[in-house]
Amino acid sequence: MTEATPTLPADHRELISDLSGIVSDYPYGDPEATLAVLVSDAAEAVGGSGTPEGRRERTGYTILLHATCWYASARVFSKSLFASYIQVLDAFRAELDRSSCTCPAGAHPVDLDSEYEVEAGASMLTEAGRAAFAEDYGLADEEMAAFDCEGFLADLIDEGVHHMREAHQERFGDIDVSYLDARFVRDDGGVDVVAMQEAISRSWENNTGPVALWCARRWLSGQVRDEDRIGLFLCLWMGIAQTYEGLPPSYARDVAAALATIDVDATCGHPQHPWSTADSNVQSRYRAVVHLYAPDDHPDTPVPAELSARELWECPVQYAQLARTALHNVKAWRTMRGGDDEDWES
C-alpha cells in the first residue's frame, strides 16, 4: 500500500479561494461579510491554546487575520470590523510569550506574500492541512514549527494591531489639513484657486482627498469671499470626482456637510451652464478653472465665450448640478466601502 497524499479539507480550500480573492483586491463576494465570518471564527478559537487543536487554530487564525488586515483597513470602512480585528488579535496576543521563542536567528518566516500567507494560515488550522502545505512547499519539520513559534505570532499580531489602530484614525478620526492654509490662503485672505488646482492635478501625491476636505471645511467656515466661491466649490467637486476609490468617513462627513448647504432643487432660465462644457476629462476641467481665475496666465479654456460670464458660473443651478453629482459620488462610496450609517455620520 502507498501512503495517501495529504489533502486540505474542502472548506479550507474554499476559505483560501475566498481570502485570496480579497487580498489580491479581486473579491468574489461581499468582502465585509467574508471578513466578519473570519473574525468570528477566530474569536471562537481564543482561549483554546491548552490543546493541540487550539494551538493549531491560534496559529492559523493569527496568520489569516494578519494577511487580511491590510485589505480590511484599506477597503472596508466599518468601525465594528476594525474593533473585531483588534479585539481578537489582542486576545491571541495575551496568550503568547515572546520570550519562549528558541528559534535560531532567521528561522521565522519573513516578508510573506499575502496570498501565500492566506494559504499558510488556512493550512495551519488542521493536521491534514499542515501536511499538505509542507509537502507542497517542501518544508522541513523545523520550518513548519516556526509558524507556531510564539515569538513569530506575537510579531505578526503587534504589526497587525498597530496597523489597524493607525488606519482607524485615518478612516474615522479627525484629519488635520490645516497645513494647507499656508499653501491656499493668500495674504489678503482670499483663496488661491490656481494653487488648489495644481495640487489636485498632482494625483500621484494623493492630494485629492486632503484638498477636498480643506475646501469643505473652508466652505463650512464661511470664510469665503464672493469672488472665490465658485472656485472653491469647483475644487471641492473635483476633489470628490477624481477620488476614484472613494474617501473614508473621516473625509466624507465634512464633504457631505458642505454639499448639503446647496439647494439642489434650484431653478433658472439659463439653457446651459459653463461646467457642462468642461466635464469630459480631468485636463479640461483644470483648464476651465485656472482660466476662470488667472486668464492671462492660463488663456486656454474649453468654456466658450458665450458661457463664460460670471453670472452663469454663479447661477444657483450651476451649484445645484455640481452638488447633485458630488452627492451621488459620496453615496457610492458608502455603498462600495460598507460600514453602518453611524460609521459615516459620526
* In the block, residue with C-alpha cell 509537502: 135
Please give the grid coordinates belonging to residue 88.
481578537
Q: Tens-of-pLDDT digits for all 346 residues of the chain? A: 445 667 777 888 899 999 999 999 999 889 999 999 999 999 999 998 889 999 999 999 999 999 999 999 999 999 999 999 999 999 999 999 999 999 999 899 988 899 999 999 999 999 999 999 999 999 999 999 999 999 999 999 999 999 999 999 999 999 999 999 999 999 999 999 999 999 998 877 788 999 999 999 999 999 999 999 999 999 999 999 988 888 999 999 999 999 999 999 999 999 999 999 987 788 999 999 999 999 999 999 999 999 999 999 999 999 999 999 999 999 999 888 888 888 898 6
Amino acid (one-letter) located at 176: D
pLDDT of residue 201: 86
Q: How far apart are CA 95 and CA 116, in angstroms?
A: 25
Q: How far apart are CA 202 and CA 183, in angstroms?
A: 14
Q: Is the dihedral of CA 273, 274, 277, 281 positive or negative?
A: negative
pTM for this model (two decimals) = 0.86
Whether the CB-CB separation of 329 and 241 falls below 8 Å is answered with yes
pLDDT of residue 12: 86
Whether the CB-CB separation of 216 and 257 falls below 8 Å is answered with yes
**Half-sphere exposure for 69 (CA within 13 Å, toward CB):** 27
pLDDT of residue 258: 97
Radius of gyration of the chain, Cα coordinates, nearest whole angstrom: 26
pLDDT of residue 112: 86
pLDDT of residue 2: 47
pLDDT of residue 202: 84
Please give the grid coordinates belonging to residue 311.
453670472
